[in-house]
């Protein structure tokens, strides 16, 4: 019983630290640690949840996507949950990712070509077009509810406000990462 209490204390301390830095990053736009340090804290929590399943709850790190939504913008439900991709930091992470894909698709060790690129840190967004007209733009928020950032997104010249094509569906959702390049900043 003592060991369980010790593990819970370690977990709660790490979780408190994670939430603090998550708030600084997502809500205050004032990160105080690097992305690498933030990911390290998150992965330590995920590892603890894997080893000790009793730590996992609806609010645990493995169950939460994005960040709590603020009161700065109007709240809008996503058409479908907007999930997050996992990080891969080394070769073994890539191998595990490939195994998950093969398992999910019920394939027998089929070769899947992977590529990697430097992480671009921006804001995950979804663009919703109705009959080719951009009508909604949402942040990821908590993955279920996003913030209405349409007016901000409209200021980005590379995002088309209207799509003109013969075969455009009545409802089109595009998920993307919005970022500012160094030269534009």
Catalytic residues: 119
The beta-strand segments (E) located in the chain are 75-77, 123-130, 133-139, 145-147, 171-178
Burial class of residue 163 (count of CB atoms within 10 Å of its CB; 0-12, 13-18, 19+) = middle
The helix/strand/coil state of 168 is: coil
* Per-residue buried b or exposed e for 39-60, using 16+ beta carbons within 10 Å of the residue's own CB: eebbebbeebbeeeeebeeeee
Q: Indicate left, alpha or beta for 97 from its phi (over 0: left) and psi (-120 to 50: alpha).
A: alpha
Residue 79 CA, chain-centre distance (Å), reads: 16
């Amino acid at each position: 019983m003592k060991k369980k209490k010790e593990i819970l204390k370690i977990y709660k301390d790490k979780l408190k630290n994670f939430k603090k830095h998550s708030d600084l990053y997502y809500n205050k736009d004032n990160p105080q640690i690097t992305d690498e340090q933030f990911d390290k804290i998150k992965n330590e929590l995920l590892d603890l949840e894997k080893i000790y399943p009793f730590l996992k709850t609806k609010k645990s790190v493995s169950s939460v996507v994005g960040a709590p939504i603020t009161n700065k913008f109007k709240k809008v439900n996503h058409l479908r949950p907007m999930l997050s991709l996992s990080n891969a930091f080394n070769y073994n992470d890539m191998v595990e990712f490939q195994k998950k894909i093969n398992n999910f698709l019920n394939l027998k060790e089929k070769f899947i070509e992977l590529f990697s690129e430097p992480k671009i840190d921006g804001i995950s967004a979804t663009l919703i077009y109705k009959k080719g007209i951009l009508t909604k733009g949402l942040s990821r928020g908590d993955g279920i509810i996003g913030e209405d950032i349409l007016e901000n997104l409209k200021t980005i010249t590379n995002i088309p406000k209207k799509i003109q094509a013969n075969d455009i569906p009545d409802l089109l959702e595009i998920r993307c990462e919005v970022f500012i390049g160094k030269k534009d900043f």
